[in-house]
Structure 1
Protein backbone atom coordinates (compact mmCIF):
# COMPACT_ATOMS: atom_id res chain seq x y z
CA UNK A 1 0.00 0.00 0.00
CA UNK A 2 1.26 3.46 -0.91
CA UNK A 3 2.29 5.79 1.89
CA UNK A 4 1.75 9.53 1.40
CA UNK A 5 3.59 12.23 3.30
CA UNK A 6 0.39 14.00 4.29
CA UNK A 7 1.95 15.87 7.20
CA UNK A 8 4.41 17.66 4.91
CA UNK A 9 1.59 18.75 2.55
CA UNK A 10 -0.56 19.93 5.48
CA UNK A 11 2.35 22.07 6.70
CA UNK A 12 2.89 23.53 3.24
CA UNK A 13 -0.81 24.33 2.81
CA UNK A 14 -0.86 26.03 6.22
CA UNK A 15 2.06 28.20 5.16
CA UNK A 16 0.29 29.22 1.94
CA UNK A 17 -2.91 30.05 3.85
CA UNK A 18 -1.03 32.17 6.37
CA UNK A 19 0.82 33.98 3.59
CA UNK A 20 -2.49 34.81 1.88
CA UNK A 21 -4.15 35.98 5.10
CA UNK A 22 -1.22 38.20 6.01
CA UNK A 23 -1.17 39.73 2.52
CA UNK A 24 -4.93 40.39 2.71
CA UNK A 25 -4.67 41.61 6.33
CA UNK A 26 -7.05 38.92 7.49
CA UNK A 27 -7.06 36.83 10.61
CA UNK A 28 -8.91 33.58 11.16
CA UNK A 29 -11.87 33.80 13.50
CA UNK A 30 -11.23 31.09 16.11
CA UNK A 31 -14.99 30.78 16.53
CA UNK A 32 -15.42 29.19 13.11
CA UNK A 33 -16.45 30.09 9.58
CA UNK A 34 -16.75 33.83 8.97
CA UNK A 35 -18.41 33.86 5.52
CA UNK A 36 -21.82 32.72 4.26
CA UNK A 37 -22.00 29.12 3.10
CA UNK A 38 -22.99 28.20 -0.46
CA UNK A 39 -24.56 24.97 0.75
CA UNK A 40 -26.73 26.74 3.32
CA UNK A 41 -27.96 29.29 0.78
CA UNK A 42 -28.78 26.52 -1.69
CA UNK A 43 -31.01 24.89 0.90
CA UNK A 44 -32.63 28.23 1.77
CA UNK A 45 -33.49 28.96 -1.87
CA UNK A 46 -34.85 25.45 -2.38
CA UNK A 47 -37.13 26.01 0.61
CA UNK A 48 -38.19 29.44 -0.65
CA UNK A 49 -39.08 27.97 -4.04
CA UNK A 50 -41.47 25.67 -2.21
CA UNK A 51 -42.84 28.61 -0.23
CA UNK A 52 -43.52 30.56 -3.42
CA UNK A 53 -44.97 27.61 -5.37
CA UNK A 54 -45.94 25.03 -2.74
CA UNK A 55 -48.02 22.73 -4.94
CA UNK A 56 -45.45 22.67 -7.73
CA UNK A 57 -42.03 23.13 -6.10
CA UNK A 58 -42.87 22.08 -2.56
CA UNK A 59 -42.85 18.56 -1.05
CA UNK A 60 -44.20 15.85 -3.39
CA UNK A 61 -46.74 14.64 -0.81
CA UNK A 62 -48.15 18.11 -0.02
CA UNK A 63 -51.93 18.50 -0.13
CA UNK A 64 -53.86 21.76 -0.57
CA UNK A 65 -55.56 21.47 2.81
CA UNK A 66 -52.15 21.64 4.51
CA UNK A 67 -50.64 24.19 2.12
CA UNK A 68 -50.71 27.16 4.50
CA UNK A 69 -49.27 25.09 7.35
CA UNK A 70 -46.39 23.98 5.16
CA UNK A 71 -45.75 27.51 3.84
CA UNK A 72 -45.70 28.95 7.36
CA UNK A 73 -43.41 26.26 8.75
CA UNK A 74 -41.02 26.31 5.78
CA UNK A 75 -40.92 30.11 5.60
CA UNK A 76 -40.09 30.41 9.29
CA UNK A 77 -37.23 27.94 8.94
CA UNK A 78 -35.90 29.62 5.77
CA UNK A 79 -35.96 33.11 7.28
CA UNK A 80 -34.12 32.02 10.41
CA UNK A 81 -31.48 30.32 8.27
CA UNK A 82 -31.25 33.39 6.02
CA UNK A 83 -30.81 35.62 9.08
CA UNK A 84 -27.80 33.58 10.14
CA UNK A 85 -26.21 33.92 6.70
CA UNK A 86 -27.01 37.65 6.54
CA UNK A 87 -25.36 38.11 9.92
CA UNK A 88 -22.20 36.40 8.64
CA UNK A 89 -22.01 38.74 5.64
CA UNK A 90 -22.60 41.86 7.71
CA UNK A 91 -20.10 40.75 10.32
CA UNK A 92 -17.50 40.04 7.66
CA UNK A 93 -18.00 43.51 6.14
CA UNK A 94 -17.43 45.08 9.56
CA UNK A 95 -14.32 43.04 10.36
CA UNK A 96 -11.88 45.95 9.90
CA UNK A 97 -13.92 48.31 12.02
CA UNK A 98 -15.42 48.21 15.45
CA UNK A 99 -17.82 45.28 15.40
CA UNK A 100 -21.03 45.84 17.35
CA UNK A 101 -22.77 42.49 17.55
CA UNK A 102 -26.05 44.06 18.63
CA UNK A 103 -26.07 46.44 15.67
CA UNK A 104 -25.22 43.63 13.24
CA UNK A 105 -28.04 41.49 14.63
CA UNK A 106 -30.46 44.38 14.24
CA UNK A 107 -29.37 45.05 10.64
CA UNK A 108 -29.71 41.38 9.74
CA UNK A 109 -33.16 41.33 11.33
CA UNK A 110 -34.25 44.44 9.42
CA UNK A 111 -32.98 43.09 6.09
CA UNK A 112 -34.58 39.67 6.43
CA UNK A 113 -37.90 41.16 7.56
CA UNK A 114 -37.91 43.46 4.54
CA UNK A 115 -37.03 40.55 2.26
CA UNK A 116 -39.86 38.45 3.67
CA UNK A 117 -42.29 41.29 3.08
CA UNK A 118 -41.34 41.32 -0.60
CA UNK A 119 -42.13 37.65 -1.22
CA UNK A 120 -45.76 38.20 -2.34
CA UNK A 121 -44.61 40.77 -4.91
CA UNK A 122 -41.86 38.39 -6.07
CA UNK A 123 -44.47 35.67 -6.56
CA UNK A 124 -46.57 38.05 -8.68
CA UNK A 125 -43.57 38.96 -10.84
CA UNK A 126 -42.74 35.30 -11.32
CA UNK A 127 -46.34 34.56 -12.28
CA UNK A 128 -46.00 37.16 -15.03
CA UNK A 129 -42.72 35.58 -16.18
CA UNK A 130 -44.30 32.11 -16.33
CA UNK A 131 -47.21 33.45 -18.39
CA UNK A 132 -44.81 35.24 -20.74
CA UNK A 133 -42.96 31.98 -21.34
CA UNK A 134 -46.20 30.05 -21.88
CA UNK A 135 -47.61 32.56 -24.35
CA UNK A 136 -44.26 33.14 -26.04
CA UNK A 137 -43.33 29.52 -26.72
CA UNK A 138 -45.57 27.41 -28.96
CA UNK A 139 -43.87 24.29 -27.54
CA UNK A 140 -45.10 25.06 -24.01
CA UNK A 141 -47.92 22.68 -23.11
CA UNK A 142 -48.97 24.39 -19.88
CA UNK A 143 -47.88 26.94 -17.30
CA UNK A 144 -47.02 24.01 -15.03
CA UNK A 145 -44.59 22.66 -17.63
CA UNK A 146 -42.99 26.09 -17.86
CA UNK A 147 -42.53 26.34 -14.10
CA UNK A 148 -41.23 22.81 -13.68
CA UNK A 149 -39.01 22.52 -16.76
CA UNK A 150 -37.83 25.83 -18.19
CA UNK A 151 -34.29 26.83 -17.17
CA UNK A 152 -35.08 30.50 -17.81
CA UNK A 153 -37.81 30.42 -15.18
CA UNK A 154 -35.51 28.69 -12.69
CA UNK A 155 -32.90 31.39 -13.27
CA UNK A 156 -35.53 34.10 -12.79
CA UNK A 157 -36.71 32.61 -9.50
CA UNK A 158 -33.16 32.85 -8.24
CA UNK A 159 -32.71 36.32 -9.72
CA UNK A 160 -35.91 37.76 -8.25
CA UNK A 161 -34.87 36.53 -4.79
CA UNK A 162 -31.24 37.58 -5.20
CA UNK A 163 -32.13 41.05 -6.50
CA UNK A 164 -34.08 41.85 -3.34
CA UNK A 165 -31.14 40.82 -1.16
CA UNK A 166 -28.82 42.90 -3.35
CA UNK A 167 -31.01 45.97 -2.82
CA UNK A 168 -31.06 45.29 0.92
CA UNK A 169 -27.28 45.52 1.21
CA UNK A 170 -26.47 41.81 1.09
CA UNK A 171 -24.63 41.52 -2.26
CA UNK A 172 -22.59 38.45 -1.32
CA UNK A 173 -25.66 36.41 -0.42
CA UNK A 174 -27.29 37.64 -3.62
CA UNK A 175 -24.30 36.68 -5.77
CA UNK A 176 -24.09 33.20 -4.28
CA UNK A 177 -27.79 32.63 -5.00
CA UNK A 178 -27.33 33.85 -8.59
CA UNK A 179 -24.34 31.58 -9.09
CA UNK A 180 -26.36 28.55 -8.00
CA UNK A 181 -28.71 29.28 -10.92
CA UNK A 182 -25.78 29.99 -13.25
CA UNK A 183 -24.27 26.58 -12.48
CA UNK A 184 -27.61 24.81 -12.98
CA UNK A 185 -28.80 26.58 -16.14
CA UNK A 186 -25.88 28.27 -17.89
CA UNK A 187 -27.74 31.59 -17.50
CA UNK A 188 -25.64 34.31 -15.83
CA UNK A 189 -27.68 37.19 -14.39
CA UNK A 190 -25.96 39.53 -11.97
CA UNK A 191 -28.24 40.18 -8.98
CA UNK A 192 -27.91 43.93 -9.48
CA UNK A 193 -29.66 43.84 -12.86
CA UNK A 194 -33.12 45.41 -12.89
CA UNK A 195 -35.63 43.26 -14.80
CA UNK A 196 -39.27 44.15 -15.36
CA UNK A 197 -42.22 41.79 -15.42
CA UNK A 198 -43.25 39.33 -18.13
CA UNK A 199 -39.62 38.62 -18.98
CA UNK A 200 -38.92 35.54 -21.11
CA UNK A 201 -35.61 33.89 -21.95
CA UNK A 202 -36.34 31.33 -24.67
CA UNK A 203 -33.95 28.37 -24.22
CA UNK A 204 -31.74 30.71 -22.22
CA UNK A 205 -28.42 28.87 -22.20
CA UNK A 206 -25.52 31.30 -22.43
CA UNK A 207 -27.51 34.45 -21.64
CA UNK A 208 -25.37 37.00 -19.75
CA UNK A 209 -26.91 40.08 -18.10
CA UNK A 210 -24.59 42.51 -16.33
CA UNK A 211 -24.93 44.25 -12.99
CA UNK A 212 -26.17 47.65 -14.16
CA UNK A 213 -28.44 46.44 -16.97
CA UNK A 214 -32.02 47.74 -16.90
CA UNK A 215 -34.70 45.69 -18.67
CA UNK A 216 -38.26 46.86 -19.14
CA UNK A 217 -41.57 45.01 -19.41
CA UNK A 218 -42.39 42.19 -21.84
CA UNK A 219 -38.82 41.77 -23.08
CA UNK A 220 -37.82 38.51 -24.79
CA UNK A 221 -34.29 37.17 -25.16
CA UNK A 222 -33.06 34.06 -26.91
CA UNK A 223 -30.05 31.92 -26.05
CA UNK A 224 -26.49 33.28 -25.91
CA UNK A 225 -27.52 36.95 -25.72
CA UNK A 226 -25.05 39.18 -23.90
CA UNK A 227 -25.95 42.47 -22.25
CA UNK A 228 -22.42 43.43 -21.27
CA UNK A 229 -20.00 46.27 -20.69
CA UNK A 230 -17.98 47.87 -23.48
CA UNK A 231 -15.10 49.23 -21.45
CA UNK A 232 -13.94 49.33 -17.84
CA UNK A 233 -12.72 52.71 -16.54
CA UNK A 234 -9.71 52.67 -14.22
CA UNK A 235 -8.69 55.00 -11.40
CA UNK A 236 -5.35 56.77 -11.03
CA UNK A 237 -3.79 53.61 -9.59
CA UNK A 238 -4.94 51.49 -12.50
CA UNK A 239 -7.67 49.66 -10.58
CA UNK A 240 -11.08 49.08 -12.13
CA UNK A 241 -13.66 51.62 -11.02
CA UNK A 242 -16.80 49.96 -9.72
CA UNK A 243 -20.43 51.02 -9.58
CA UNK A 244 -20.64 53.00 -12.82
CA UNK A 245 -23.60 52.33 -15.16
CA UNK A 246 -21.96 50.31 -17.93
CA UNK A 247 -24.57 47.87 -19.25
CA UNK A 248 -27.47 48.33 -21.70
CA UNK A 249 -30.93 49.73 -21.05
CA UNK A 250 -33.55 47.59 -22.79
CA UNK A 251 -36.93 49.30 -23.01
CA UNK A 252 -40.36 47.61 -23.09
CA UNK A 253 -41.34 45.04 -25.75
CA UNK A 254 -37.83 44.54 -27.14
CA UNK A 255 -36.90 41.20 -28.74
CA UNK A 256 -33.24 40.11 -28.95
CA UNK A 257 -32.48 37.01 -30.99
CA UNK A 258 -29.87 34.33 -30.37
CA UNK A 259 -26.22 35.21 -30.14
CA UNK A 260 -26.65 38.99 -30.14
CA UNK A 261 -24.09 40.99 -28.15
CA UNK A 262 -25.05 44.45 -26.87
CA UNK A 263 -22.28 46.30 -25.06
CA UNK A 264 -22.06 49.51 -23.08
CA UNK A 265 -24.59 51.98 -21.67
CA UNK A 266 -26.69 52.03 -24.82
CA UNK A 267 -30.48 52.10 -25.05
CA UNK A 268 -32.60 49.73 -27.12
CA UNK A 269 -35.78 51.70 -27.77
CA UNK A 270 -39.22 50.33 -27.10
CA UNK A 271 -40.33 47.63 -29.52
CA UNK A 272 -36.92 47.27 -31.18
CA UNK A 273 -35.94 43.92 -32.69
CA UNK A 274 -32.28 42.88 -32.61
CA UNK A 275 -31.40 40.06 -35.00
CA UNK A 276 -29.29 37.00 -34.32
CA UNK A 277 -25.50 37.35 -33.89
CA UNK A 278 -25.63 41.15 -34.11
CA UNK A 279 -22.77 43.03 -32.40
CA UNK A 280 -24.13 46.35 -31.15
CA UNK A 281 -22.40 49.20 -29.31
CA UNK A 282 -24.75 52.09 -30.18
CA UNK A 283 -28.26 52.99 -29.10
CA UNK A 284 -31.22 51.90 -31.21
CA UNK A 285 -34.39 53.99 -31.68
CA UNK A 286 -37.85 52.70 -30.77
CA UNK A 287 -39.29 50.25 -33.27
CA UNK A 288 -36.02 49.72 -35.13
CA UNK A 289 -34.98 46.37 -36.61
CA UNK A 290 -31.25 45.69 -36.50
CA UNK A 291 -29.78 42.72 -38.37
CA UNK A 292 -26.41 41.58 -39.61
CA UNK A 293 -27.34 43.05 -43.00
CA UNK A 294 -27.88 46.56 -41.61
CA UNK A 295 -24.94 48.78 -40.72
CA UNK A 296 -24.55 50.49 -37.39
CA UNK A 297 -26.17 53.65 -38.79
CA UNK A 298 -29.02 52.06 -40.71
CA UNK A 299 -31.60 51.09 -38.12
CA UNK A 300 -34.73 50.04 -40.04
CA UNK A 301 -37.95 51.49 -38.56
CA UNK A 302 -40.77 49.08 -37.86
CA UNK A 303 -42.83 48.43 -40.97
CA UNK A 304 -40.07 49.18 -43.48
CA UNK A 305 -39.15 46.47 -46.02
CA UNK A 306 -36.77 43.88 -44.63
CA UNK A 307 -33.31 43.50 -46.05
CA UNK A 308 -31.85 40.07 -46.89
CA UNK A 309 -31.02 38.09 -43.77
CA UNK A 310 -33.16 40.18 -41.43
CA UNK A 311 -35.44 38.58 -38.86
Structure 2
Protein backbone atom coordinates (compact mmCIF):
# COMPACT_ATOMS: atom_id res chain seq x y z
CA UNK A 1 0.00 0.00 0.00
CA UNK A 2 1.35 3.45 -0.92
CA UNK A 3 1.94 5.33 2.38
CA UNK A 4 3.13 8.68 0.98
CA UNK A 5 1.50 11.67 2.67
CA UNK A 6 -1.69 12.82 0.98
CA UNK A 7 -0.22 16.17 -0.08
CA UNK A 8 2.82 14.54 -1.66
CA UNK A 9 0.69 12.07 -3.60
CA UNK A 10 -1.53 14.86 -4.87
CA UNK A 11 1.46 16.98 -5.92
CA UNK A 12 3.10 14.02 -7.64
CA UNK A 13 0.04 13.50 -9.82
CA UNK A 14 -0.21 17.21 -10.51
CA UNK A 15 3.37 17.12 -11.86
CA UNK A 16 2.64 14.09 -14.04
CA UNK A 17 -0.63 15.43 -15.44
CA UNK A 18 0.81 18.88 -16.08
CA UNK A 19 3.14 17.43 -18.68
CA UNK A 20 1.69 17.09 -22.19
CA UNK A 21 1.69 13.46 -23.28
CA UNK A 22 2.71 12.54 -26.86
CA UNK A 23 -0.93 11.77 -27.64
CA UNK A 24 -2.01 15.15 -26.28
CA UNK A 25 0.67 16.96 -28.28
CA UNK A 26 -0.63 15.25 -31.42
CA UNK A 27 -4.33 15.82 -30.81
CA UNK A 28 -4.66 19.21 -29.16
CA UNK A 29 -4.26 22.40 -31.23
CA UNK A 30 -1.37 24.45 -29.96
CA UNK A 31 -2.99 27.86 -29.86
CA UNK A 32 -2.50 30.18 -26.92
CA UNK A 33 -6.17 31.06 -26.45
CA UNK A 34 -9.16 29.36 -24.88
CA UNK A 35 -11.12 26.70 -26.67
CA UNK A 36 -14.69 27.51 -27.68
CA UNK A 37 -16.93 27.22 -24.63
CA UNK A 38 -19.59 24.52 -24.72
CA UNK A 39 -21.66 26.57 -22.29
CA UNK A 40 -21.24 29.62 -24.53
CA UNK A 41 -22.37 27.68 -27.59
CA UNK A 42 -25.39 26.41 -25.68
CA UNK A 43 -26.26 30.04 -24.89
CA UNK A 44 -25.87 30.96 -28.58
CA UNK A 45 -28.41 28.34 -29.64
CA UNK A 46 -30.80 29.44 -26.87
CA UNK A 47 -30.61 33.00 -28.17
CA UNK A 48 -31.21 31.87 -31.76
CA UNK A 49 -34.25 29.93 -30.59
CA UNK A 50 -35.60 32.96 -28.70
CA UNK A 51 -35.02 35.20 -31.73
CA UNK A 52 -36.63 32.97 -34.37
CA UNK A 53 -39.52 31.99 -32.08
CA UNK A 54 -40.23 35.29 -30.30
CA UNK A 55 -42.65 35.18 -27.34
CA UNK A 56 -42.20 31.43 -26.83
CA UNK A 57 -38.97 31.23 -24.81
CA UNK A 58 -38.46 34.63 -23.15
CA UNK A 59 -41.13 34.39 -20.42
CA UNK A 60 -43.03 37.54 -21.29
CA UNK A 61 -46.45 38.46 -22.57
CA UNK A 62 -47.08 38.26 -26.28
CA UNK A 63 -46.94 41.94 -27.20
CA UNK A 64 -45.65 43.12 -30.58
CA UNK A 65 -45.07 46.65 -29.31
CA UNK A 66 -42.17 45.50 -27.16
CA UNK A 67 -41.01 42.59 -29.33
CA UNK A 68 -38.44 44.72 -31.17
CA UNK A 69 -36.90 45.76 -27.84
CA UNK A 70 -36.40 42.15 -26.75
CA UNK A 71 -35.16 41.15 -30.18
CA UNK A 72 -32.67 44.01 -30.22
CA UNK A 73 -31.25 43.00 -26.85
CA UNK A 74 -31.06 39.33 -27.84
CA UNK A 75 -29.40 40.02 -31.18
CA UNK A 76 -26.81 42.22 -29.51
CA UNK A 77 -26.11 39.46 -26.98
CA UNK A 78 -25.92 36.93 -29.82
CA UNK A 79 -23.40 39.03 -31.73
CA UNK A 80 -21.20 39.39 -28.64
CA UNK A 81 -21.27 35.66 -27.87
CA UNK A 82 -20.67 34.71 -31.50
CA UNK A 83 -17.71 37.07 -31.73
CA UNK A 84 -16.15 35.55 -28.62
CA UNK A 85 -16.65 31.91 -29.59
CA UNK A 86 -15.72 32.36 -33.26
CA UNK A 87 -12.56 34.21 -32.24
CA UNK A 88 -11.63 31.30 -29.98
CA UNK A 89 -12.22 28.82 -32.79
CA UNK A 90 -10.17 30.84 -35.27
CA UNK A 91 -7.19 31.06 -32.91
CA UNK A 92 -6.47 27.44 -33.75
CA UNK A 93 -6.79 27.93 -37.52
CA UNK A 94 -3.40 28.50 -39.11
CA UNK A 95 -4.93 30.38 -42.04
CA UNK A 96 -5.46 33.49 -39.89
CA UNK A 97 -2.82 35.82 -38.52
CA UNK A 98 -3.26 36.84 -34.88
CA UNK A 99 -4.17 40.44 -35.70
CA UNK A 100 -6.81 39.25 -38.18
CA UNK A 101 -8.69 36.99 -35.79
CA UNK A 102 -10.88 39.55 -34.02
CA UNK A 103 -11.81 41.36 -37.23
CA UNK A 104 -12.62 38.10 -39.01
CA UNK A 105 -14.68 36.88 -36.03
CA UNK A 106 -16.71 40.09 -36.12
CA UNK A 107 -17.34 39.74 -39.86
CA UNK A 108 -18.41 36.10 -39.52
CA UNK A 109 -20.70 36.88 -36.57
CA UNK A 110 -22.45 39.57 -38.60
CA UNK A 111 -22.76 37.25 -41.60
CA UNK A 112 -24.45 34.68 -39.38
CA UNK A 113 -26.88 37.28 -38.05
CA UNK A 114 -27.69 38.27 -41.64
CA UNK A 115 -28.83 34.65 -42.13
CA UNK A 116 -31.27 34.68 -39.19
CA UNK A 117 -34.32 35.63 -41.31
CA UNK A 118 -33.71 32.63 -43.59
CA UNK A 119 -33.05 30.35 -40.60
CA UNK A 120 -36.36 31.54 -39.14
CA UNK A 121 -38.22 30.95 -42.41
CA UNK A 122 -36.88 27.40 -42.70
CA UNK A 123 -37.66 26.53 -39.10
CA UNK A 124 -41.26 27.65 -39.46
CA UNK A 125 -41.59 25.38 -42.50
CA UNK A 126 -40.29 22.53 -40.32
CA UNK A 127 -42.91 23.32 -37.66
CA UNK A 128 -45.64 23.35 -40.31
CA UNK A 129 -44.41 20.01 -41.68
CA UNK A 130 -44.59 18.44 -38.24
CA UNK A 131 -48.09 19.77 -37.68
CA UNK A 132 -49.28 18.45 -41.06
CA UNK A 133 -47.72 15.01 -40.44
CA UNK A 134 -48.71 14.41 -36.81
CA UNK A 135 -52.42 14.00 -35.95
CA UNK A 136 -51.45 14.05 -32.26
CA UNK A 137 -50.36 17.71 -32.53
CA UNK A 138 -53.10 19.99 -31.23
CA UNK A 139 -51.48 23.27 -32.28
CA UNK A 140 -48.27 24.84 -33.56
CA UNK A 141 -47.28 26.16 -30.12
CA UNK A 142 -47.17 22.62 -28.73
CA UNK A 143 -44.71 21.65 -31.47
CA UNK A 144 -42.46 24.67 -30.97
CA UNK A 145 -42.37 24.30 -27.19
CA UNK A 146 -41.99 20.55 -26.83
CA UNK A 147 -41.11 18.57 -29.96
CA UNK A 148 -37.52 17.30 -30.06
CA UNK A 149 -37.30 17.81 -33.83
CA UNK A 150 -37.66 21.57 -33.37
CA UNK A 151 -34.82 21.62 -30.86
CA UNK A 152 -32.67 19.47 -33.16
CA UNK A 153 -33.41 21.62 -36.20
CA UNK A 154 -32.63 24.91 -34.43
CA UNK A 155 -29.24 23.42 -33.64
CA UNK A 156 -28.75 21.93 -37.10
CA UNK A 157 -29.84 24.95 -39.14
CA UNK A 158 -27.66 27.26 -37.05
CA UNK A 159 -24.68 24.91 -37.25
CA UNK A 160 -25.10 24.42 -41.00
CA UNK A 161 -24.84 28.18 -41.61
CA UNK A 162 -21.77 28.43 -39.38
CA UNK A 163 -20.18 25.53 -41.27
CA UNK A 164 -20.86 27.18 -44.64
CA UNK A 165 -19.14 30.31 -43.28
CA UNK A 166 -16.02 28.19 -42.77
CA UNK A 167 -15.98 28.33 -38.97
CA UNK A 168 -14.10 25.36 -37.45
CA UNK A 169 -15.08 23.21 -34.44
CA UNK A 170 -18.23 25.13 -33.44
CA UNK A 171 -20.77 23.60 -35.89
CA UNK A 172 -20.10 20.03 -34.80
CA UNK A 173 -20.24 20.92 -31.12
CA UNK A 174 -23.63 22.59 -31.65
CA UNK A 175 -25.22 19.60 -33.40
CA UNK A 176 -23.80 17.23 -30.80
CA UNK A 177 -25.50 19.32 -28.09
CA UNK A 178 -28.81 18.49 -29.78
CA UNK A 179 -27.78 14.84 -30.23
CA UNK A 180 -27.18 14.45 -26.50
CA UNK A 181 -30.57 15.89 -25.53
CA UNK A 182 -32.85 14.62 -28.32
CA UNK A 183 -31.22 11.43 -29.62
CA UNK A 184 -31.29 12.97 -33.12
CA UNK A 185 -27.84 12.99 -34.74
CA UNK A 186 -27.60 15.37 -37.70
CA UNK A 187 -24.16 16.23 -39.02
CA UNK A 188 -23.93 19.99 -39.73
CA UNK A 189 -22.59 19.24 -43.21
CA UNK A 190 -25.84 17.60 -44.34
CA UNK A 191 -28.03 19.62 -46.70
CA UNK A 192 -31.71 19.63 -45.70
CA UNK A 193 -34.49 21.39 -47.58
CA UNK A 194 -37.61 23.07 -46.26
CA UNK A 195 -40.64 21.44 -44.64
CA UNK A 196 -38.55 18.73 -42.97
CA UNK A 197 -40.20 16.54 -40.33
CA UNK A 198 -38.92 13.89 -37.94
CA UNK A 199 -41.66 12.15 -35.97
CA UNK A 200 -40.57 11.00 -32.50
CA UNK A 201 -36.94 11.23 -33.61
CA UNK A 202 -35.01 9.02 -31.21
CA UNK A 203 -32.16 7.25 -32.96
CA UNK A 204 -32.26 9.18 -36.24
CA UNK A 205 -28.82 9.54 -37.87
CA UNK A 206 -28.15 11.82 -40.86
CA UNK A 207 -24.61 11.72 -42.26
CA UNK A 208 -22.38 14.58 -43.33
CA UNK A 209 -22.85 14.40 -47.11
CA UNK A 210 -26.58 13.64 -47.15
CA UNK A 211 -28.71 15.75 -49.45
CA UNK A 212 -32.36 15.88 -48.41
CA UNK A 213 -34.99 17.63 -50.50
CA UNK A 214 -38.22 19.41 -49.55
CA UNK A 215 -41.20 17.88 -47.76
CA UNK A 216 -39.28 14.86 -46.46
CA UNK A 217 -40.49 12.98 -43.39
CA UNK A 218 -38.46 10.54 -41.28
CA UNK A 219 -39.57 8.41 -38.36
CA UNK A 220 -37.59 7.23 -35.35
CA UNK A 221 -34.54 5.04 -35.83
CA UNK A 222 -33.88 5.99 -39.47
CA UNK A 223 -30.22 5.92 -40.53
CA UNK A 224 -28.98 7.79 -43.60
CA UNK A 225 -25.40 6.57 -43.49
CA UNK A 226 -22.32 5.54 -45.42
CA UNK A 227 -21.92 2.02 -46.74
CA UNK A 228 -18.11 2.12 -46.77
CA UNK A 229 -15.19 4.55 -46.89
CA UNK A 230 -12.59 5.30 -49.53
CA UNK A 231 -9.07 5.59 -48.17
CA UNK A 232 -6.15 7.76 -49.23
CA UNK A 233 -2.59 6.47 -49.75
CA UNK A 234 -1.96 6.72 -46.00
CA UNK A 235 -5.02 4.67 -45.11
CA UNK A 236 -7.07 7.64 -43.88
CA UNK A 237 -10.78 7.91 -44.82
CA UNK A 238 -11.47 10.40 -47.62
CA UNK A 239 -14.16 13.00 -47.00
CA UNK A 240 -16.09 12.47 -50.23
CA UNK A 241 -19.84 12.12 -50.89
CA UNK A 242 -20.86 8.82 -49.30
CA UNK A 243 -24.36 9.31 -47.91
CA UNK A 244 -27.79 9.08 -49.56
CA UNK A 245 -29.64 11.66 -51.64
CA UNK A 246 -33.30 11.85 -50.62
CA UNK A 247 -35.43 13.68 -53.16
CA UNK A 248 -38.62 15.70 -52.52
CA UNK A 249 -41.78 14.28 -50.92
CA UNK A 250 -40.17 11.11 -49.54
CA UNK A 251 -41.34 9.35 -46.38
CA UNK A 252 -39.05 6.91 -44.57
CA UNK A 253 -40.59 4.85 -41.78
CA UNK A 254 -39.05 3.75 -38.51
CA UNK A 255 -35.80 1.79 -38.19
CA UNK A 256 -34.97 1.79 -41.88
CA UNK A 257 -31.31 2.00 -42.89
CA UNK A 258 -30.29 3.63 -46.17
CA UNK A 259 -26.58 3.43 -46.94
CA UNK A 260 -24.19 4.76 -49.54
CA UNK A 261 -24.33 7.42 -52.24
CA UNK A 262 -27.63 6.24 -53.59
CA UNK A 263 -30.76 8.19 -54.56
CA UNK A 264 -34.26 7.69 -53.25
CA UNK A 265 -36.45 9.16 -55.97
CA UNK A 266 -39.08 11.78 -55.27
CA UNK A 267 -42.51 10.80 -53.93
CA UNK A 268 -41.25 7.43 -52.69
CA UNK A 269 -42.17 5.62 -49.50
CA UNK A 270 -39.64 3.44 -47.66
CA UNK A 271 -41.37 1.14 -45.20
CA UNK A 272 -40.16 0.26 -41.72
CA UNK A 273 -37.14 -1.96 -41.04
CA UNK A 274 -35.83 -1.76 -44.60
CA UNK A 275 -32.12 -2.19 -45.43
CA UNK A 276 -31.48 -0.28 -48.66
CA UNK A 277 -28.16 0.00 -50.51
CA UNK A 278 -29.33 0.68 -54.07
CA UNK A 279 -31.10 3.61 -55.70
CA UNK A 280 -34.85 3.53 -56.21
CA UNK A 281 -36.92 5.28 -58.88
CA UNK A 282 -39.40 8.08 -58.14
CA UNK A 283 -42.82 6.99 -56.86
CA UNK A 284 -41.36 3.74 -55.46
CA UNK A 285 -42.89 1.80 -52.56
CA UNK A 286 -40.26 -0.29 -50.77
CA UNK A 287 -41.77 -2.54 -48.11
CA UNK A 288 -41.06 -5.85 -46.45
CA UNK A 289 -42.83 -9.04 -47.41
CA UNK A 290 -46.02 -9.41 -45.43
CA UNK A 291 -45.73 -11.58 -42.34
CA UNK A 292 -47.42 -14.97 -42.50
CA UNK A 293 -47.94 -17.87 -40.13
CA UNK A 294 -47.12 -21.46 -41.03
CA UNK A 295 -49.13 -24.27 -39.52
CA UNK A 296 -47.34 -27.32 -38.25
CA UNK A 297 -47.81 -30.40 -40.45
TM over 0.5, shorter chain: yes
Q: Which residue of 1 aligns with 2:276?
A: 280
- Residues 104-123 of structure 1, C-alpha deviation per residue, up to 9 Å, x if partnerless? 22322222111111101111
**What secondary structure does 1:93 align onto?**
coil
Relative to structure 1, the CA distance from residue 68 to residue 235 in structure 2 (aligned partners, 3 Å threshold; closer, same or farther) is: same
Residues 1:265 and 2:261 are matched in the alignment: yes
Contact 2:31–2:91, Cα closer than 8 Å, also in 1 = no
Contact 2:31–2:92, Cα closer than 8 Å, also in 1 = no
- Structure 1 unaligned spans of 5+: 294-307
- Between the aligned partners of 2:162 and 2:30, the Cα distance in structure 1 is 27
Note the 1:1-16 alignment, pairs <5 A. 3=6, 5-15=9-19
Q: Which residue of 2 aligns with 1:128?
A: 125
Q: Report deviation, 1:83.
A: 1.1
How many residue pairs were aligned? 285
**What secondary structure does 1:56 align onto?**
coil
Contact 1:21–1:27, Cα closer than 8 Å, also in 2 = no
Contact 2:45–2:154, Cα closer than 8 Å, also in 1 = no
- Between the aligned partners of 2:190 and 2:176, the Cα distance in structure 1 is 14
2:248 pairs with 252, 256, 266, which one?
Answer: 252
Contact 2:29–2:92, Cα closer than 8 Å, also in 1 = no
1:200 pairs with 189, 197, 200, which one?
Answer: 197
Q: Which residue of 2 aligns with 1:299?
A: none
- Between the aligned partners of 2:28 and 2:46, the Cα distance in structure 1 is 35
**What secondary structure does 1:80 align onto?**
helix
Note the 1:137-176 alignment, pairs <5 A. 137-176=134-173
Q: Which residue of 2 aligns with 1:231?
A: 228
- Residues 223-252 of structure 1, C-alpha deviation per residue, up to 9 Å, x if partnerless? 00000001111111111112x011000000
- Residues 127-148 of structure 1, C-alpha deviation per residue, up to 9 Å, x if partnerless? 1110110111000010000011
- Between the aligned partners of 2:212 and 2:97, the Cα distance in structure 1 is 39
After superposition, the CA RMSD in angstroms is: 1.8
- Between the aligned partners of 2:31 and 2:121, the Cα distance in structure 1 is 43
User: What is the TM-score normalised by the length of structure 1?
Assistant: 0.87
- Structure 2 unaligned spans of 5+: 292-297
